[in-house]
Amino acid sequence: MRFTQVSRASNSFGSRSRKSANPLRTIIILAVLGLLLFGGLYLTVSRTASRVTHRNERVVTTVPRVSLLSARRAPNTLSIITRTGKVSRAFSNIVSDFPTQSCVAIEWMGMRLGSLNSTKAMIPASSTKLITAAVALEVLKPEFTYTTKVHGTLDATGTAADLFFVGGGDPVLVRNEYVASEKYPTISGTSLEKLADSLVAAGLKRVAGSVVGVDSRYDDKRFVDVWPQDFHFTEAGPLGALMVDDGVVLGQLTKPDDPAIAAANELQNLLNARGVLFGALPRRDAVPSGLATIASIQSAPLTSIIQEMLVNSDNNTAELLLKEIGFATSATGSTAAGLTAVTEQLAKWKIEKDVKLLDGSGLASDGRIPCDVFMSLLNTFSTSMPGLMAIAGQTGTIRDTFDGTAVAGKLRGKTGTLNGVKALVGYLPVTNSGPVTFSLLMNRTGIDNQGSYRPIWYSLADVLNRAAASPSMEQLTP
């Protein structure tokens, strides 16, 4: 088409050229007129442009190739919506399996995905230790350490009149032999052997008297008043600011009534084994003022102490930690002072309602805590707390639980057990998101038997794992 038009123009021009007397003149005139017209237009456009504010933005209108509601446009959102729906539906399918006297709550990504009686206060058993842990982290701070000291005076021959073994409240001061005998071995114990080695390295060779146990940092109440008698010496206690090996003396069948004397015995035995001679048997007394420190040892940081308490459900650690909270807040190392401080902290967090605490370990069967309180603490401490808990199928009180399930090696939890009480609270980590948080407290005669609680635990674990299942964001991404 374009070629045809050009051909026609050429023919017409050829006809006119034969009639024109002076074609060159005509061309020149047309050229001059064209230049004048072009120049005028240029000046007009330039003046107009100078009065216009230029914008750099360019709006390009395009038709979307993918629908705005397509999974390819929002794979992460659709993945979360799909999986939260799976968790909620799966929970609704098992809600009838929980005993009437139970509370349950499940949350993920800031959403409540399932609950049953979550505001109802239930007997929590050892899950109480989660509250003790949270308040300790807030009041004492994660970097807090315990210090245990030995005071005395060494003469030029390496002789001391007495060694005053002063407890700083360390609940995990242990001998290596004791750790080897524990059902749940101490995780981050403070080595009594290292303290004995430090004394020998300081030049100690002989003690005219003995090792003297000093535990004046805390009160002298060895057990919590509301505990049943059969818990004494077995489940916990006797308690004191100076404890070694949970109050045990290796080689003795029963625990001494006084943990300070038991601790003095253990240190004296270790020093004897290192060649230090003693002139008397261990005893308890107050440390004289102005006596120098010969040696000392620090515990692991508080986070490690809390890990010991939660993973192994260590009752002594929980009770001594509660007394330390009391000492830190009121200079009174007692259970009562610790409970007052804990209640005040829960009030600051606005979660004290319907909470009844009688100890730090949960051995008191009259204690009450709603599931929602646990959920609040789990969410508040979701960064630090999961790493301090037992791992399903691997460690602590759930090392023999959840074997062969999808949550083995993943689920982090704190258990609780009393007659007619079974609890499990904690987290299930999820790749590329925050963990699923959950709390389950069951109160019913016989629920603490494996045949009763394990099927429910396993069903709950399957529900939680729906958050980690497909479709993942990667599966939905084009």
Of the CA atoms within 13 Å of residue 198, those in its CB half-sphere come to: 16
Nearest CA to 466 out of 147, 93, 126 is that of 93
Nearest CA to 404 out of 450, 462, 472 is that of 462
Nearest CA to 436 out of 111, 28, 210 is that of 111
Q: Cα angle at 288 between 284 and 290, to 5 degrees?
A: 145
Q: 154 and 280 share a domain?
A: yes
> Does 174 map to a domain?
yes
Tell me the pTM. 0.82
- Span 46-66, pLDDT tens digits: 444 444 444 333 333 334 434
266, 284, 300 - which closes a domain: 300
> Does 307 map to a domain?
no
Range of the domain at 456: 76-128+354-476
Q: 153 and 252 share a domain?
A: yes
Q: 289 and 400 share a domain?
A: no
| Strands of 120-239, DSSP E | 121-122, 147-151, 159-160, 163-166, 173-174, 190-191, 206-207, 211-214
CATH number at 284 reads: 3.50.80.20
pLDDT (mean) for 402-419: 97
Q: 278 and 417 share a domain?
A: no
Other CB atoms within a 10 A radius of the CB of residue 260 amount to: 28
Calpha distance 130→389 (Å, rounded): 10
Cα 50 to chain centroid, rounded: 65
30 pLDDT band (50/70/90 cuts)? Answer: low
Q: Cα angle at 447 between 441 and 450, to 5 degrees?
A: 110
Calpha distance 56→401 (Å, rounded): 64
> Does 141 map to a domain?
no
167 pLDDT band (50/70/90 cuts)? Answer: very high
pLDDT averaged over every residue in the chain? 87
Residue 474 backbone class (left: φ over 0; alpha: ψ -120 to 50; beta: rest): alpha
> Does 222 map to a domain?
yes
Calpha distance 404→425 (Å, rounded): 20
Cα 258 to chain centroid, rounded: 35
Q: 101 and 194 share a domain?
A: no
Q: 214 and 247 share a domain?
A: yes
Other CB atoms within a 10 A radius of the CB of residue 139 amount to: 18
Nearest CA to 282 out of 208, 205, 213 is that of 213
Position 268 scores a pLDDT of: 98
Q: 294 and 177 share a domain?
A: yes
Number of domains present in the structure of the chain? 2
CATH number at 452 reads: 3.40.710.10
472 pLDDT band (50/70/90 cuts)? Answer: very low
Calpha distance 129→322 (Å, rounded): 10
Lowest mean pLDDT among 81-85, 229-233, 235-239, 419-423: 81-85
Calpha distance 271→85 (Å, rounded): 63
Q: 121 and 259 share a domain?
A: no
> Does 382 map to a domain?
yes
> Does 121 map to a domain?
yes
Residue where the block lists tokens 């929002």: 74
236, 268, 300 - which closes a domain: 300
pLDDT at 310 over 50: yes
> Does 142 map to a domain?
no
> Does 380 map to a domain?
yes
Q: 91 and 120 share a domain?
A: yes
CA dihedral in degrees (234, 237, 243, 248; nearest 10)? -30
- Span 81-91, pLDDT tens digits: 888 999 999 99
Strand, helix or coil for residue 257 = coil
Contacts (Cβ under 8 Å, ≥6 apart) of 9: none
**More confident: 283 or 74:** 283
Q: 123 and 252 share a domain?
A: no
283, 300, 317 - which closes a domain: 300
Q: Which two tokens stand for residue 41?
A: 């237009």
Lowest mean pLDDT among 123-132, 248-257, 329-338, 356-365: 248-257
Q: 110 and 162 share a domain?
A: no
Q: 151 and 292 share a domain?
A: yes
